[in-house]
Chain A
């Protein structure tokens, strides 16, 4: 459908990402790189899931490729992806009038709000496996959901104080919107500044969609996946067990508290989560198993959140008493 609306050349996919990252950097965010493990959503990166715990303020932004094996469509559906990209912004605590700040970020990527219809519609977020939930909105721009906006209330089954504001931009959707396209694969990823030649999203990523859809639906070896799941789970559980004796106020060896690998345990839990998703896409999880396996993963993830919070308390107390001693 030819566009009836003349616009100046919209931002490419990568310019969109640069611009948003620059915007949030200029508003005090630490720019982090994507987490280098498979996650189903930007929320699961430790930069969100763990940093929202405890009292320490943080403003952080990062792009996060998110893998959802069951959502793959072999690259044949113009709007569904095995792997999509989220731009995740965590503001802890959220500043006053954070919605206005968010709207400014839209202006920064060339969206003139007077030319569009923007609505904040109720949409609450819940991740039972992480014992996490929040309230918020989906941001609708001319009928298209472009952002999830969430005020985190609980994580790992623990009340958060301060709470965090989470802004998740769906970059592909946003790019489709600003570039006015029907298919995700037609998104202009980059444009050669000299020749003007365009590289599309499809030419960069289509083969991934084809191959990973095939892997998740047709090739992944179920028996091996179960074995992986058990191995990751066992190691994570063992770490959680050791945390019980290491992460205590009575432990005199403060260095062992500081160095206890909670982050390692979390990675093992994330591995379990991704393996579960692969098994699910493969249709290998029966009804009777499903609830049970999800419960096992929940125990790992919530368990890690608990020891992360405890470790944070212990190290904060230790450094406070050190400062006291130094003074």
Chain B
């Protein structure tokens, strides 16, 4: 057995693509070795396989690979003996069969089958060497790695890969496996850090020495080791400022980890005057444009420092130069931002409303002026409806917020920092003396941007967020531009997720159907919208609320228009499924549904109560059901679903007794109909909480 190493040397791979490509290379390598029977007994992928990456390389190391596949012998049946042999002598058919299976004619045997005697041979498929398999198959695996965006570079070849391949190292034990990919033949020559190493190739001695040798060339190949080094350095460098902390930012740590081979951290400063600009703007400049970490003081307020992660070993001399360079860039960026901030304020938001006619929302849906007008109508309806249900929404503020919501799109600051749209509008509104309810609603309008985000702080902000998004979704659906498969260019799923979250987490007394009805939708579009939203609600319950899929199915089957209600029901069902009685009742509901389906039972249009002349298990069940329907109905009205489910579970003894003693499908048609009606009444009444038959029992 021998260790296997593959390193693909590349021109800088985009940081956002590295982690998934590294994982995919490992997955593909292990799948190939597994399929080719080259992994040893007791192989543990967590212990025996490891992957590495830097901006300039992807690598995989697998320990104890078999160097040789085992031979496979196989019994092959040939032509009938009487055809293959004439007078005991092998004919052409026997010779051909022997040749085909790589055996001598003398090695052919005769076997007896129900259809008669046939000749047979034991064909031995020689196992291939691991080196041969890897050289033949590994290039296909590398070539199949998914890249969000790739390129061609080799003339007259169709190969596409993320960036040009510069070198390949491929070793099995100490030996080179000379596989070829993208015009490069693997050897043992690799390269270290662009600047810190000599720039000359070095030879990888063995898979085992790879990581240590790279470290000697100023490359930390292990992503986690690099991330750890960066975090420690961020901590260490920040200590120079008394009481300060760097602002935690996992995506940014991730980004700089994939931008460096030998990271080091440097503290820079900016003039405290810039702190007069909104923190949101300063942090965006630092984080999104410069990949700097923000620094805050002990009170959590932004401090006039930043941290940059360099891809070089810092010493006093280069640190001073690099610091000065970064400080100058940041100063220029802050100056720009300040210039825009002051320039934009010369035209207040209220004067910008008329400029929205010149900003396209979508080419078939018109300008933002048109959108704002239409969103205003929707928001007005939603606010009025909410107030008719005692919600106390400030309708005037909603109207003002809608009117001003998109005006920041005309500002220089948003053109420069598009990711701050909404936030900038809110900041300008506040500094221009606009009512804080309006300003906050504008500020929060794009919340939640993701499932971890919170919803707008105020009801007015929620109304704006709902109206804006439903307008976009309905508009796009009406144009036939709805998401399909993995394609969702207008991020409509995200918009719908936000609507669901606002309705479920917020305090507005609105149902999904209220939101859809507020925008004028054609019936056939509405049907598609309802199906689209059902998927988003399902997603929300599973991903954001952590509900099991069967619970989600069960509660959604009982209706999902009122999001807060559906959440309450899902939580109650999840809590109840631990109870033995509830599980038994769920199983009984499934049985009832099956019986009703088999009997093809139709609920009669009119039915009286249940009248029984004698007392038996059926009358007992009916009595219990009538009692529970009333109790459950009252509890449900107060959304006391946990209690309602506990009540439903108390029907278990009556149900069990009924099924134990009685046959539903009684020969007497009157009895049969009555019993079916009883079951139907139970199922339909209790299914308003959830379709219990969907609950997976005993899994």
Contact = CB atoms under 8 A, between A and B. Distances in A.
B194 to A, nearest CB: 7
A120 to B, nearest CB: 4
Interface stretch (A93-101, A234-242, A244-252): A93-101
A39 B326 CA distance: 31
A182 B358 contact: no
Interface string A132-163: 00110100011110000001010000010111
Given A115-B318, A180-B324, A161 B152 contact: yes
Nearest to A144: B329
A142 B15 contact: no
Contacts of B15: 121-122
A31 to B, nearest CB: 25
Interface stretch (B244-252, B331-339, B691-699): B331-339
A99 to B, nearest CB: 6
Contacts of B311: 117-119
A96 B155 CA distance: 13
Contact of B318 (A93, A114, A153, A283): A114
Contacts of B156: 161
Contact of A118 (B163, B195, B332): B195
B55 A120 contact: yes
A6 to B, nearest CB: 10
A261 interface: no
A113 B153 contact: no
Nearest to A114: B195
A79 B153 contact: no
Contact of A180 (B164, B199, B328, B359): B328
Nearest to B147: A135
Nearest to B314: A117
Contact of B332 (A4, A79, A124, A163): A79
Interface in B112-165: 149-153, 155-156, 163-164
Contact of A116 (B164, B325, B359): B325
A287 B360 contact: yes
Contacts of B367: 287
Given A116-B325, A121-B259, A287-B358, A153 B312 contact: no
Interface string B365-402: 01100000000000000000000000000000000000
A287 B357 contact: yes
A118 to B, nearest CB: 7
A162 B322 CA distance: 38
A56 interface: no
Contact of B155 (A93, A115, A141): A93
A326 interface: no
A155 to B, nearest CB: 13
B322 A182 contact: no
A114 B330 CA distance: 22
Given A114-B195, A122-B16, A143-B326, A77 B149 contact: no
Interface string B298-326: 00000000001011100001101110111
Nearest to B367: A287
A94 B321 contact: no
B166 interface: yes
B90 interface: no
A118 B311 CA distance: 7
Contacts of A114: 195-196, 312, 318
A209 to B, nearest CB: 15
B324 A4 contact: yes
A161 B321 CA distance: 42
Nearest to B292: A143
Interface residues of A, number: 47
B290 interface: yes
Contacts of A80: 336
B637 interface: no
Contacts of A1: 328
Contacts of A99: 11-12
Contacts of B195: 113-114, 118
A143 B318 contact: no
B100 interface: no
A103 interface: yes
A180 B324 CA distance: 9
A283 B12 CA distance: 40
A174 B198 CA distance: 26
A144 B325 contact: yes
B322 A117 contact: yes
B328 A182 contact: yes
A94 to B, nearest CB: 7
A143 B155 contact: no
Interface in B1-36: 11-12, 14-16
A135 B149 contact: yes
B332 A78 contact: yes
A197 interface: no
Contact of A142 (B196, B326, B335, B357): B326
A286 interface: yes
A32 to B, nearest CB: 24
B363 interface: yes
Nearest to A124: B149
Nearest to A134: B151
A118 B326 CA distance: 12
Contacts of A77: 336, 339
Given A77-B339, A118-B311, A177 B359 contact: no
A3 interface: yes
Nearest to A77: B339
A207 interface: no
A255 interface: no
Contacts of B199: 100
Interface in B569-622: none
B509 to A, nearest CB: 38
B336 A3 contact: no
A144 B291 CA distance: 11
A1 B327 CA distance: 11
B155 to A, nearest CB: 4
Interface centre among A77, A162, A287 (most CB of B within 10 A): A287
Contact of A151 (B153, B290, B326, B359): B153
A291 interface: yes
Contacts of B332: 78-79, 182
A162 B326 contact: no
Given A118-B311, A119-B12, 19 more contacts: A79-B335, A80-B336, A94-B153, A96-B166, A97-B166, A113-B194, A115-B318, A116-B318, A117-B308, A117-B325, A119-B260, A135-B150, A137-B12, A144-B328, A151-B164, A286-B357, A287-B357, A287-B366, A291-B363
30 contacts: A1-B328, A5-B320, A5-B324, A79-B332, A80-B336, A99-B12, A103-B194, A115-B321, A116-B312, A116-B321, A116-B322, A116-B325, A117-B322, A118-B195, A118-B312, A121-B15, A122-B12, A122-B14, A142-B324, A142-B329, A143-B292, A143-B308, A159-B152, A161-B156, A163-B153, A180-B328, A182-B328, A287-B357, A287-B358, A291-B360
The 6 closest A-B pairs by CB, nearest first: A142-B325, A122-B14, A117-B310, A120-B12, A143-B326, A162-B155
Interface of A: 1, 3-5, 77-80, 93-94, 96-97, 99-100, 103, 113-122, 124, 134-135, 137, 141-144, 151, 153, 159, 161-163, 177, 180, 182, 283, 286-287, 290-291
